Amino acid sequence: MKKIVVIGGGLAGLSAASFLSNAGFKIELLEASPKLGGRAYSFLDNETGAVIDNGQHILMGCYNETLNFFKLIGAEENLTKQSHLSLNFVKQNFELCPLKASGSLYPFNLLSAVFNYSAISFYEKLLFIKFFTKIYLYTDKDLKELTVLEWLLLEKQTANLIKSFWEIFAVSALNTDIKKASAKIFAAVIKKIFFRGNDASAIILPSLGLTEAYCDDALRFINNKEGRFSFSEPVITLNVQDSVIKEIVTTKRVISDFDCVISAIPLYALKKIMTGKNFLPDLEFDYSSILTAHLFLKENRFVNTFYGLIDSPVQWVFNKGTHLTVVISNADNFMGVSQEEIIELILDELNKYILLGRSEISTYKIIKEKRAAFIPSNDILDKRPSVYTPFKNFFLAGDWTDTGLPATIESAVKSGRIAADAVRSL
């Protein structure tokens, strides 16, 4: 039985490890922290007794790789799926503007959603639909010259249309300022979500905390196939001989009894363990942040599962029953700001939009994820590396590798599956 060491226990590492375990390989997974999940995990908040996510994670019906992975590890039931796209956008004073694909006759249900969307004028609805009809006229080469904002302006999308749909959608999908993100990767996301049938645009949410939603099942699945996990064991360096990884040096030991190694750690962490090997010398990412605030209410009077806020620094509010989870993507400006100032700003916004009074809050928790996602700018898209490396037994996975997708769960899981396929084809 061939032994594969997977470095990193985020979604990419768990995906690679699960697919390889299933194919009969022996897995040892090394994780630097005491837990699985990487950038997508949950924990028990001692103050409130609630399980909270480090950040709300939204999946979509077009996340085929992720859905396959969840199915493989037996975690499918931990996801709640919409039957078709249904978003509750809200303007100030709790003016609800649903964007809802009623009925299942694709694509007419999406068209009717646009025509019933009250946040934009009739003229803007026509511009919006025109944008979609022209997407396939743009080549990758055209789009690589444009940022998302430049593309939207070229297609005469109005300021209100950008604020009422494009900005919230693009910032959530790419976690990047629309002035920086590549139009090419944005077009790929739009095609995946809106041009692949009815299910693709439906929102999927984990129905449990993230750790319970997939980490526990992945752990069980891999353990049942005789895989092994080592926690709190960061890899420090990889020793190479004749273009082959010979030893993995961790903080606890030197490992040499393996056939292949998969790195499923972020680029900045990989560069550290590859110091002195001139590995990916031309690749550096800029990152953007996500801020999540969990607000515990004395009484929860909200009925919808989530709201998208139009023209606000706060993009989404999720109703988790026990609490509200407030999401600010592209949140670099908030990273140096105190918790008190952030909560003031959030409460001001929520008061304006969903009429939430300060006195309704019992306590709150703010989580800042500084390097939540790499910025998918035109400069770096072609530099994302494939699964292969100059070392014969060493493969790359991670949401940042060349999956054609932005830094998402789907990209991470896809990269893990690709790495597993590369090992299997040896």
Ligand X SMILES: Cc1cc2nc3c(=O)[nH]c(=O)nc-3n(C[C@H](O)[C@H](O)[C@H](O)COP(=O)(O)OP(=O)(O)OC[C@H]3O[C@@H](n4cnc5c(N)ncnc54)[C@H](O)[C@@H]3O)c2cc1C
Binding site for ligand X (CB under 6 A): 7-13, 30-33, 38-40, 54-55, 57-58, 234-235, 264-266, 269, 273, 290, 292, 369, 372-373, 398-399, 407-410, 412
Nearer to ligand X, 66 or 198 (CB): 66
Closest to 182 measured CA to CA, from 380, 400, 407, 384: 380
Residue 76 Cβ, how far from ligand X at the closest point, in Å?
A: 17
Q: Which residues pair with 324 in a beta bridge?
A: 295, 319
Nearer to ligand X, 293 or 409 (CB): 409
- The three state secondary structure string of 197-261 is CCHHHCEEEECCCHHHHHHHHHHHHHHHCCCEEECCCCEEEEEEECCEEEEEEECCCEECCCCEE
Cis link prior to 281 (omega < 30° from 0)? no
Nearer to ligand X, 33 or 68 (CB): 33
Nearer to ligand X, 120 or 210 (CB): 210
Residue 70 Cβ, how far from ligand X at the closest point, in Å?
A: 13
The C-alpha atoms of residue 280 and residue 265 are separated, in whole angstroms, by 14
The C-alpha atoms of residue 92 and residue 385 are separated, in whole angstroms, by 44
Query: Which tokens go with 248?
Result: 């993995």
Residue 253 Cβ, how far from ligand X at the closest point, in Å?
A: 13
CB contact at 8 A, 203 and 304: no
Residue 18 Cβ, how far from ligand X at the closest point, in Å?
A: 12
Residue type, 210: L
Residue 227 Cβ, how far from ligand X at the closest point, in Å?
A: 16
Query: Which tokens go with 295?
Result: 């607000």
Nearer to ligand X, 84 or 294 (CB): 294
Residue 237 Cβ, how far from ligand X at the closest point, in Å?
A: 9
Backbone angles phi, psi at 152, to 5 degrees: -60, -40
Nearer to ligand X, 227 or 398 (CB): 398
